[in-house]
Structures are given as structure tokens and as C-alpha cells.
Amino acid sequence: MISIKEEIIDLSNQLSVDSVKNVTHYFPIDRFFIEENGYLDKILAVNHLEFIFYNFENVNPTYSVQLFVCLPELWEQITYENIKVLLENFSNSFSFYSFIEYTYKYLEIDLFDEIMHNKNIDNKIKKDCIHFFISTLGSLYMDEDDYLDFEENVFGISMNKLIVLREIFEAHEEFKKILPQEKFYQKLISFQSSQSL
């Protein structure tokens, strides 16, 4: 069980509230806002895993995905074991949705096997994930608009930083590379028809 320190709860909640109250360059949050308001050093000073967990577990999914696009440093030291700990501690389907969207679309790692074959993850959540991503499959792949956002630097993060982060994960054989959209669709259908669910 991941135990969240009060400082992480306070920091995460304050960042979320401030980004709504104040003007960000790119809604709901961007790197410019994080840096200009003194949040980056505070975020980097707390436990990365707890910060990641709390924000996926307790904050709006659209916000949390974009938040982590803006914070590649948090992911540089994340291990396969850390990922399994996160997956086994998420308590609701929305945490999985946003976590999968971020890791599949931006890190380009496929964690569906880790979810579907993990006995510590509730079957209802597995079914919810399969159903959700069959119907929203395109959201797991970067499109022209996504690449344009990086090219125009709307997040305050360059595509090069994302590529370096992807290479870090690619260097670890435990992490599987994402599949082309049609193959991933077939994989989801296969999981959906599986007797184990």
C-alpha cells in the first residue's frame, strides 16, 4: 500500500487549485505555470512515486495526464517495480484510464499485460479498462495536433525531452513497446473474450 505524506497531498491540491484560479498558457496546466509559480523545485523535492500516485488517483484525469507530460524528470527514475506498485494501488477505473493514456501515448509503453494478468487488480477494473479503450482507442496514439502542440511548445516541454524519456523506458526489456492501433485493438478484443475475465 502506498502511503501518501501530507506534504504531497497539500502540494498536489495547491497546484491543482492554483492552475484553475490563475491563467495558464495552456489549459489545464503547463510547464511555464509550474516553473513561474515555484512549483518545480517543490515537486522534485518530494517522493516521486507518491506524487505520481496521488495525482493519478485523486485529480481530474485530463489534468493529471497533462501534468505528467510537463514533468518528464519525475519519470526518469521510475522502474518496472514502481509501475507494478502503482497499478496494484490504484483504486478506481479513472486512475487506470489516465495512467494508461499517459504511459501508452506519451511514454509509448504497453502495460495491458501487467494489468490483465495481475491477480491483485480487481476484475471489474480490468473489464472497465478494456471497454473504455476499445471505444476510445485513438486517444492512446499521438496525432498531428499532439505533435503540433510539442512543435509549438504549448506545454513548455520539447518533443526531444519526451523522446529521451521514451528511450529510457525502451532500454529496459521489462517494458513492452506499444502496438500499432489495429494490433492493439485485436489485443483488447482478445482480452475481452478471455475466460479469465
Instruction: Reduce the DSSP state of residue 17 to 3 states and report it.
Output: helix
Average pLDDT estimate for 8-35: 90
Element (H, E) at 5: none
Average pLDDT estimate for 30-52: 96
Q: Are 133 and 191 in contact (CB under 8 A)?
A: no
User: Predicted confidence band at 197 (pLDDT cuts at 50, 70, 90)?
Assistant: very low
Tens of pLDDT along 85-99? 999 999 999 999 999
Residue closest to 65 by CA, chosen among 30, 20, 112, 18:
30
Identify the bridge partners of residue 177 per DSSP, sorted by sequence position. 109
**pLDDT higher than 90, residue 81:** yes
**pLDDT higher than 80, residue 195:** no
Task: Break the chain into its structural domains and give their ranges.
Answer: 6-193
Element (H, E) at 177: strand 176-177
Q: What are φ and ψ of residue 176, in 5° steps?
A: -90, 140
Per-residue pLDDT at 39: 97
